[in-house]
Every structure is written in C-alpha cells, then in structure tokens.
Structure 1
Amino acid sequence: MKDSVRSALPERILLIGAGQMAIDYSKVLKSLNVEPVVLGRGAESAARFEAATGLKAGSGPLPDQLAALQAQGTGALPDQAIVAVNARNLAAVSAMLPGHGIRRVLIEKPAALDLREMADLLQAMRSAGARAWVAYNRRFLASVAAADRIIAADGGALSVFFNFSEPAHRIAALGKPARELTTWFYGNSTHVVDLALYFAGLPASLHSAVAGGSVIDPQAGIFTGHGISRSGCHLAWHANWIGPGRWGVEVVTRAHRLIFQPLEKLRLQSHASFAETEVALEDHEDQAFKPGLLAQTRAFLSRPQDPRLLPLEDHAAVMQALEAMRSGQSWSAAK
C-alpha cells in the first residue's frame, strides 16, 4: 500500500458485531493497521470472535457499551463505525450511532429490510448530519475492476441481464429467523441486483412479475422482469428459487459480452466467436480476504468519493424499484 493511503487511514474504528462478517472485517482492518474497537452482543459470540481473531469483543446491550466508551473520555469512542450485525438488526443499530457522536458509518448490506426501516434510518442519519454507505462488496471484486476498464473502452453498457436464483432448500435448513427468510431478496439477492445496477445505472422504469412461492418466501419463488436505466441501458432479469440455480450477471457492450458466473470470475465473448475466454485477474486481495472486502474497507476509510461506494441516500432512492422487483409490480422514477 502506498504511504499516502496508509497515512490517511484512522488509527481506530468501531466495529459493531462479533459474527463471521465481523471476523472478516477484523482481518481486513488488521492488514490496514487499523485497530477495531469491537462491540458484540452475546458472550458466546464474543468468545468465538476472540478465538478466531485474538481480539476482545464487548458484549451486552449496545447503548450501554457505547455509553461506557463515551464515559472514558475524549478519543475512547471512535467517530467512524462499521456495522456488521445480522440483517434484521442493521437498521436499528445503525440509526442509534449518530446519537453517540459517530458521523461516518459503513453499514453491511442491505442496511434495511423494508421501506419503513430505510426511511427511519435515513432520517436518523440526516437529522444528525451523519453520512453512511452501504457495503455491497461485490462492487469491489477484481472481476468488476477488470470489467470497468473494458466497458469504458467499449463506450458503455448497452444491456444487462442478471439472475439472482437462490438455493432456497439449503437456506431453509440454516434455521434463520422468519424475518430474515421472508426478506432474503433484500438481505442476499440484492448483491446481484446492486451489481447489475452498478453497471447499468439507476433505473428509470421497470416491469416485473412474480409467481409461485418458495420454502423461504411464500409470496414469491419465480421472479422475471425488464426495465431501462436513466442512461438508456436495458435491463432484464430472471430468478427461480423453486428449482436449482445460481447467481450471474451479463453485460453487453458494442464489442463484448462480459459474463460473471460466478461473480468473482469474468469471461468475455466477442463478435468473432461464440467461444468465451476467461480474463486473467489481479485478484490476490480477493484470494487473501473475503472477496472485495479489503478494497471496499480501504475506500471507506480513505477515499469516500470512490464511485464504487454506495451512499445510503442512493440506496434509499432505489429501494422503491427493488420493492417492485421483489413483489412483481411496475415502477417508474419520479419525473
């Protein structure tokens, strides 16, 4: 890492959560020489976190832990935080942070599980003058960085197709709370949707349909639809949670079809042949850490203008479109 980037990083940051995602973040922060002040919830998860990382994690009610740090005096409570708790608690936990003087927050995806949660979270941040970003780490994959260069050289994306099929039967066996299962589209599938919109641009209009019901969401098991982005890029999607399937994104330019399946890999097709050629990637960071996480964390800490970082306001603005996609409705952006 360049010295100028390293010197711009804070010495300490608040890391809220003590589960696997927090463990992944702690590894990244350690590599950046940033000390995480870790606040967990249960004593058992705190103990597992310490065993995995060698770092102590607090436990107990979060307001009490935050107040205890504030009572220690200036500098004990960092003014930046990463929120890596379970999906159903993301919005509530993040919303309480500005009241404790925390003004910059990176919130694990999807930040909120419905429109009401998002509205309340956005209001909490705005009223305190705080800023937040949503952590969609797939934007920072080496495959995406390589694709960005190709798409720019080709003059931009013409159309994007994406598939957010989920292994619903395996997910149902995980024993997740009902709230997380019925909002799985937001909590997990939006990794794919967000990446597609990252390439296509913010949607202008879309038309969607859902059918059936899956073992994790009785309201929908098959999702199809099409739309257009504000930049004129056409969108189409399909997902089936009843039968087997996997994630995938395809971006078509004037010169190439770029295929992400899995998302961490990139294959190219040109006009010359139906053959697909795998692109060699500079993905040593994605091999060493959870893919995309190091680059995302580094950008949050030192380069907040990085276009791959997703501001909370932008994510909130697109949630009406996401809800239409999830529930089988048509949607158009306000004129």
Structure 2
Amino acid sequence: MKKNILLVGTGPMALDYAKVLIAQNFSFQVVGRGQESAKRFEEGTGIKPFVGGLQKYLETSSVEDNTYAIVATGTEGLMSSLLSVLQAGVEKVLIEKPAAISIEELIENKEKLSVYSEKVFVAYNRRFYASVIEAQKMIEEDGGLQTMHFEFTEWAHKIEPLTKAPGVKENWFFANSTHVVDLAFYLAGKPIQWQAYSKSGVLKWHSKTNFTGAGITEKGVLFSYLSNWESAGRWAVELLTEKRRIYLKPMEGISVQEKDTIAVIEYKLDDSYDVQFKPGLYLQVEAFLADRNDRMLNLKEHTAISAEIFNTIIQ
C-alpha cells in the first residue's frame, strides 16, 4: 500500500529530512509556518511548502489513509505538533528528539499519548550512524561489551549566545545531551544499579553544569560517565570488550586500541550516507518508512527512559 508522507517543519532539520526523502525517491507534502523559512526550504529542495502552520493545514486538508508523518519543528513546537498529527489520524510518526521541550512536558502528556505511543518513534539518529553499526558488529565479534564510559560535555560558550525559544536552553541536557546518553545505554543496556551526581555552576541558563555517575546495566556492563560544561571536553562513547577499546570520539568515526597495545588507530568504515546526508538520517528514514523498528526508540520507551534515566542524571 502506498505511503503518504507529511513533513512538518521547514527549518534546517526539515531540510535535512527532505534531502533524504528526495534521494530515496519519495514524494511528500511539507507544512511550514513562516514565509522566510518556507522560502529557504523551497530554494533548497524545489518543493513549495504549505505556509500558515500545521493547524491551518489540518483545517483545510484531510489526512489520507496510510499517512506517515515526520515532525521536524523547533523543540518548543514538537509536542503540540505531535498531538495534532495523531489526532488528525496519521498512521505512524517519526518525531525529532526529544519529542517535548522538557521531561516534565513529556511526562504530563504520557496518558494522553499512551494509545499512540507504540506508533510514534523518537529520532535519535545516532543509533543509525555507520560508526555505531560497525561498533556493534565489533562488540559481537569480541563476545560482548564489558565496560563503557561516556561523556556529554556541552560547549557553553557556543550555546549561551544562541537565540532560542523560552525553555529550550534551560532544558539543553534533555534537548541535546540525551543524544549521547540514549546511544550509550542503547549499546550497553539500561542501568539497573547506579549512582548519579550533579551540581550547579555559574551558568544562568541551565540549572546543572557538572555531572558524573557509575553503575551496572541489565546486560552486566559496568559503566561510568563524566560531563563538565564549564571545562574542556566533547561528546564521546568508549566501549571496552575483552579484545579492544572502541572509541566513538568523534561519534561519527571509530578509533580502536587493541588489547596489550598503546596505539589508537583510526578504523576505516563505509560512512558514505553519513557524509552525503546529515549523519544517521538516511538509514533512520529508510527504517522508519520500511517499518523496520528494531533500532528505533518508540515513545513509550522514550518516556520511561526520560523519567528513569535522564531525570536521574539531571536531578
């Protein structure tokens, strides 16, 4: 049965999705809000969006059967857009992470969304990086993961001058850092016994700036993490097997340190999709539209992880 695709949003992220959809030979409708972003979108894709916002579009257009929606609005508009497309009768939704402006907004809508939660998927595209897929193969070859360390340091000096909607920078850990946290526990399993610590610093726009923790996951993997937004650092995941240490640092690539050696060697991999398109997006969209959901995070799981894991880290 033919899929009808609705892309909600005309900003930079929506443009990245459009490039992938075009490359995969899908036709789709686009809904935007403002004239300026719609014009940039049309210039970048050749596709003219509907302008005036999602509510106006839904008032004037009926949602066809078997419609799959991709919601790629700004963070502040994700939840309202999600509720609107679901109530309009879309079949399946891929929504940009983290699906809400805050953990509180996500949990507040849990009951309302419960009937839909297994047909809504949150777009943590790093699960689809070529580096991550290759790292998983290496871990399996080595007999499994033993230990993991990860870091989600944010560059506060780059974030502070950004103009964002109210609430976005205040929830930056949820909106941005959970890229790393989601990937780490996707690879190692969810934590079952752990301690988390955080403290405030001098930043006026985010309540916590310094994080650390450690524990063991459901897969028996010992883990630790560290993040200091007022010092030096970067996003990274380090994966230790019996035979080697696998570095996703930067996360788009792989470096390997073999057991009993000092050298850290760059690992060559086929990352052509991640070079041509926003990393992870091509395979994520392909999986979403083909109903291959095993690597994807549904909204029910995301809400539980947000309440139990993300909330523990940030408290």
So what's the TM-score if we normalise by structure 2? 0.94
Measure, in 2, the Cα distance between the counterparts of 1:314 and 1:199: 15
Secondary structure class of the residue paired with 1:173:
coil
Deviates more, 1:179-188 or 1:78-87: 78-87
Q: Equivalent residue for 1:332?
A: none
Q: Equivalent residue for 1:273?
A: 261
Deviation at 1:46, TM superposition (A): 1.0
Question: Is 1:304 aligned with 2:292?
Answer: yes
Deviation at 1:304, TM superposition (A): 2.6
AA paired with 2:236?
G
Q: Equivalent residue for 2:197?
A: 209
Question: Is 1:16 aligned with 2:11?
Answer: no
Write out aligned runs for 1:35-184 (5 A).
35-70=27-62, 75=64, 79-127=67-115, 131-184=119-172
Task: For residues 88-129 of structure 1, give each alpha carbon's deviation from its aligned partner in whole angstroms, at most 9, with x where no partner exists.
Answer: 221221122121011200011111233332234443333358
Task: For residues 271-302 of structure 1, give each alpha carbon's deviation from its aligned partner in whole angstroms, at most 9, with x where no partner exists.
Answer: 13011111111111111100110000000000
Secondary structure class of the residue paired with 2:239:
strand
Residue 193 of structure 1: which of 171, 177, 181 is its match? 181
Deviation at 1:11, TM superposition (A): 4.9
Secondary structure class of the residue paired with 2:28:
strand
Cα 1:245–1:91 change in 2 (3 A) is: same
AA paired with 2:58?
L
Measure, in 1, the Cα distance between the counterparts of 2:83 and 2:36: 25
Q: Is the contact made by 2:33 and 2:51 (CA closer than 8 Å) also made in structure 1?
A: yes
Secondary structure class of the residue paired with 2:306:
helix
Measure, in 1, the Cα distance between the counterparts of 2:202 and 2:270: 38
Q: Equivalent residue for 1:288?
A: 276
Q: Equivalent residue for 2:219?
A: 231
Deviation at 1:61, TM superposition (A): 3.4
Question: Is 1:241 aligned with 2:233?
Answer: no
Structure 2's unaligned 5+ residue stretches are none
Task: For residues 30-79 of structure 1, give each alpha carbon's deviation from its aligned partner in whole angstroms, at most 9, with x where no partner exists.
Answer: 01111121111112211111111111111223222012111xxx73x762
Task: For residues 124-158 of structure 1, give each alpha carbon's deviation from its aligned partner in whole angstroms, at most 9, with x where no partner exists.
Answer: 33335861111011111111111011101112111
Secondary structure class of the residue paired with 2:79:
helix
Measure, in 2, the Cα distance between the counterparts of 1:118 and 1:323: 12
Task: For residues 212-239 of structure 1, give each alpha carbon's deviation from its aligned partner in whole angstroms, at most 9, with x where no partner exists.
Answer: 3253644211111112211211221111
Deviation at 1:260, TM superposition (A): 0.7
Measure, in 2, the Cα distance between the counterparts of 1:310 and 1:216: 32
Measure, in 2, the Cα distance between the counterparts of 1:129 and 1:283: 32
Q: Is the contact made by 2:114 and 2:300 (CA closer than 8 Å) also made in structure 1?
A: no
**How many residues are matched?**
314
Q: Is the contact made by 2:97 and 2:124 (CA closer than 8 Å) also made in structure 1?
A: yes
Q: Equivalent residue for 1:262?
A: 250
Task: For residues 153-181 of structure 1, give each alpha carbon's deviation from its aligned partner in whole angstroms, at most 9, with x where no partner exists.
Answer: 11211111111001111111112234110
Measure, in 1, the Cα distance between the counterparts of 2:3 and 2:186: 31
Q: Equivalent residue for 1:313?
A: 300
Residue 29 of structure 1: which of 13, 18, 21 is its match? 21
Measure, in 1, the Cα distance between the counterparts of 2:262 and 2:23: 42
Measure, in 2, the Cα distance between the counterparts of 1:294 and 1:216: 37
Secondary structure class of the residue paired with 1:324:
helix
Deviates more, 1:17-26 or 1:146-155: 146-155
Q: Equivalent residue for 1:5?
A: none
Secondary structure class of the residue paired with 2:61:
helix
Secondary structure class of the residue paired with 2:38:
helix
Runs of 4+ in structure 1 deviating by more than 6 angstroms, as ranges, are none
Deviates more, 1:269-278 or 1:208-217: 208-217
Q: Is the contact made by 1:180 and 1:187 (CA closer than 8 Å) also made in structure 2?
A: yes
Deviates more, 1:56-65 or 1:135-144: 56-65
